[in-house]
Structure 1
Amino acid sequence: MKLSCVPMAWALYIPSAVFWAAHLLVVAASFSGSPWDIPSSAASFETLQCEGPVSTEKSDCHMDDDLKDPRETDYQVKGYTFSEPFHLIVSYDWLILQGPATPIFEGDPLVLRCRAWQDWPLTQITFYRDGSALGPPGPNKEFSIAVVQESDSGNYHCSAIFRSPGPGSPETTSTVAITVQELFAAPVLRASPSAEPKEGSPLTLSCQTKLPLQRSAARLLFSFYKDGRTVRSKGLSSEFQVPTASAEHSGSYWCEAATEDGQVWKQSSQLEIRVQGKCVCVSLVCV
């Protein structure tokens, strides 16, 4: 199913648009396929496309005021399937900074675009975070970070000089707040049934952490270490099992959780495992 809605507006604020589909795709005419979080310059032409796996003869775009059912929080109303809301702002500004429409997590790429009214040519483009320039002025309209970290969060803006209309017309955008969210917390290593198992009993080490709901489909790989050496390399299981514990299994353990591409990885604190020896009875006294 594909539905195109074409808004053309001057100096209006358009509330959250909600589109039918399993997933949202916003396509701006000059950079189709990029998940930009518009503010959109006032005289530019934007196309909003609604796409999903469901085929239907009737599709439509809706504004916030159209949807009043309390079940809309689940994006399911009377048999229809809705996308998540998307905020579209039509701006008066001559120059705007476009950022991502979806939440940004550790390990994601980040692309910001400094965009002029009617895409007029720019020069001396400079990007800033929290008021500090991220590089010298230049011709590049895009600023990108291949793998973001939480430390990349901040208030971004850009400045540029219009080459037309009129020479040397400088402009600065409003700031855009970028928050890089934690993809997963540092794992915690736990021992079952305890960190002091009896010799001959089973021991299970669990590397515990959790992905956010928005990234629940992603997979983490887990590794386990003892006394500075690897006891199990990367695998999908978050558990490391010792069927029969013995004195040689005593030591300092920790685990690591990592994304499949290795861009984000975190280690647990160390956990001391002390395997308790069996009782030996001598003259009716167990020692």
Structure 2
Amino acid sequence: MKLGCALTAWPLYMSPAILWAVQMLPAAILEILECEGSVSTKESSCHANDDGTSTEEADFEVKGYTFSEPFHLIVSYDWLILQGPAAPIFEGDSLVLHCQAWQDWPLTQVTFHRDGSALGPPGPKREFSIAVVQEADSGHYHCSGIFRSPGPGSPETASPVSVTVQELFPAPVLKASPSAEPQEGSPVTLSCQTKLSPQRSATRLLFSFYKDGKTVRSRDLSSEFQILTASVEHSGSYWCEAATEDSQVWKHSSQLEVRVQGPSSSAASPTLNPASQKSAASETSSTEPPRPVPPLATPTSEAPVFCPPDPHLHHQMGILLKHMQDVRVLLGHLVTELRDLSGHRKPETTKPPAK
């Protein structure tokens, strides 16, 4: 018994409108409706193309049968149709839309719209594309155009097509283990946590880590950054970035404050503790005594880097403001004393003239 490699035939009771719609299908669509690959069972077999395609390349198998992925076939009874992508669209993908005319008749003044707004001036191009889509590109698209001879010669508009750009992966979350306030000398692991969409699980992500506006590790496959021996110099604001290999999609986490706790309260200040300045982890090398510069301190050129405010600069500004307040108090005392002195001298200098 041999399985027939063809679609189940529809009943022949078709209205003229349906026959017209079927004639509108491009040849490329009809070619898709073929049995591709090799399907075999113990009792029957079906071979559409003897191109050496093995069952290992098939999508899935059920009890010896091999099936392709399903797709939706939409037959439209319109002068114009907008052909959109059949597969789901994710961040970083390209989007191509075709404005298809009935029997491929010539069109002029073709315009593409999204959510009712024109995406450009009318022109002869029947194709609209976005090289790298974002979630903001989601919406309802349609096209319009004017048929030339032998068409109706009037403006026509295609039915809208919904395009949803799905999130490839959420913004990462930076977490510290075992704690964001470790004891000096203990290990710390920073983990940049995010998850790819199951439909794009094969996509590779590269992870970068930053501290106080400087790169401590750039574009690595590992989502973890380890500090083997934490010292006070490792305290600071950390954040991470997850990006695709082509850097078309990249997202960074929020800041995470890491504060390494010294052995006693007297060693809390990293700038006044010489012992803490001598200890360094294998991931970080010091170039300035008060503020060590981590290795690979080369800002990535593939994506802009979010630079938070420097906490050390903020501390110095706080000290300066305190000094200014002290000077203001001293000036206040000086003004008070000057007023008192002028009050004692006033009766002597303002005597009325003798009559």
Length-normalised TM-score, structure 2:
0.62
Letter in 2 for 1:276: Q
Change (3 A) 1:6 1:151: farther
- Pairwise CA distance, 1:79: 2.1
Counterpart selection for 1:208 from 171, 193, 214: 193
The CA deviation string for residues 69-96 of structure 1, in whole angstroms up to 9 with x for no partner, is xxxxx95421223222100011111110
Contact 1:95–1:171 (8 Å) recurs in 2: yes
- Once residues 225 and 254 of structure 2 are traced to their aligned partners in structure 1, the CA distance between those partners, rounded to angstroms, is 16
2:46 alignment partner in structure 1: 58
Contact 1:157–1:172 (8 Å) recurs in 2: yes
Determine if the alignment matches structure 1 residue 258 to structure 2 residue 243.
yes
Question: What is the SS of the residue equivalent to 2:46?
Answer: coil
- Once residues 157 and 113 of structure 2 are traced to their aligned partners in structure 1, the CA distance between those partners, rounded to angstroms, is 10
Contact 2:39–2:46 (8 Å) recurs in 1: no
Question: What is the SS of the residue equivalent to 1:118?
Answer: helix
Counterpart selection for 2:106 from 110, 116, 121: 121
The CA deviation string for residues 200-235 of structure 1, in whole angstroms up to 9 with x for no partner, is 111000000010011000000000000000000111
The CA deviation string for residues 9-28 of structure 1, in whole angstroms up to 9 with x for no partner, is 97559xxxxxxxxxxxxxxx
- % identical equivalent positions: 73
Determine if the alignment matches structure 1 residue 225 to structure 2 residue 202.
no
Change (3 A) 1:144 1:237: same
2:150 alignment partner in structure 1: 165
1:175 alignment partner in structure 2: 160
- Pairwise CA distance, 1:43: 4.9
Contact 1:161–1:170 (8 Å) recurs in 2: yes
- Once residues 262 and 142 of structure 2 are traced to their aligned partners in structure 1, the CA distance between those partners, rounded to angstroms, is 64
- Once residues 26 and 9 of structure 2 are traced to their aligned partners in structure 1, the CA distance between those partners, rounded to angstroms, is 10
Q: CA RMSD in A?
A: 2.8
Question: What is the SS of the residue equivalent to 2:171?
Answer: coil
Counterpart selection for 2:26 from 44, 61, 65: 44
- Once residues 119 and 4 of structure 1 are traced to their aligned partners in structure 2, the CA distance between those partners, rounded to angstroms, is 27
- Pairwise CA distance, 1:163: 1.1
Change (3 A) 1:195 1:4: farther
1:66 alignment partner in structure 2: none
The CA deviation string for residues 97-128 of structure 1, in whole angstroms up to 9 with x for no partner, is 00000110111000000001111111110000
- Once residues 264 and 83 of structure 2 are traced to their aligned partners in structure 1, the CA distance between those partners, rounded to angstroms, is 69
Contact 2:208–2:219 (8 Å) recurs in 1: yes
- Once residues 181 and 124 of structure 2 are traced to their aligned partners in structure 1, the CA distance between those partners, rounded to angstroms, is 63
Q: Rg bigger for which structure?
A: 2
- Pairwise CA distance, 1:277: 1.1
Contact 1:41–1:94 (8 Å) recurs in 2: no
Contact 1:223–1:233 (8 Å) recurs in 2: yes
Letter in 2 for 1:270: Q
Superposition pairs for residues 3-42 of structure 1, below 5 Å? Answer: 42=24
1:146 alignment partner in structure 2: 131
Change (3 A) 1:175 1:273: same
- Once residues 146 and 179 of structure 1 are traced to their aligned partners in structure 2, the CA distance between those partners, rounded to angstroms, is 15
Question: What is the SS of the residue equivalent to 2:169?
Answer: coil
- Pairwise CA distance, 1:42: 2.7
Superposition pairs for residues 186-201 of structure 1, below 5 Å? Answer: 186-201=171-186
Question: What is the SS of the residue equivalent to 1:87?
Answer: coil
1:135 alignment partner in structure 2: 120
- Once residues 141 and 173 of structure 2 are traced to their aligned partners in structure 1, the CA distance between those partners, rounded to angstroms, is 34
- Once residues 125 and 134 of structure 2 are traced to their aligned partners in structure 1, the CA distance between those partners, rounded to angstroms, is 23
Letter in 1 for 2:210: Y
- Once residues 263 and 4 of structure 1 are traced to their aligned partners in structure 2, the CA distance between those partners, rounded to angstroms, is 41
Specify which structure has the higher proportion of strand.
1
Letter in 2 for 1:90: V
Change (3 A) 1:167 1:11: closer
Counterpart selection for 1:246 from 198, 208, 231: 231
Task: Flag structure 2 segments of 5+ consecutive residues without an equivalent.
Answer: 49-58, 266-355
Letter in 2 for 1:58: C
Contact 2:105–2:151 (8 Å) recurs in 1: no
Contact 1:40–1:88 (8 Å) recurs in 2: no
1:87 alignment partner in structure 2: 72
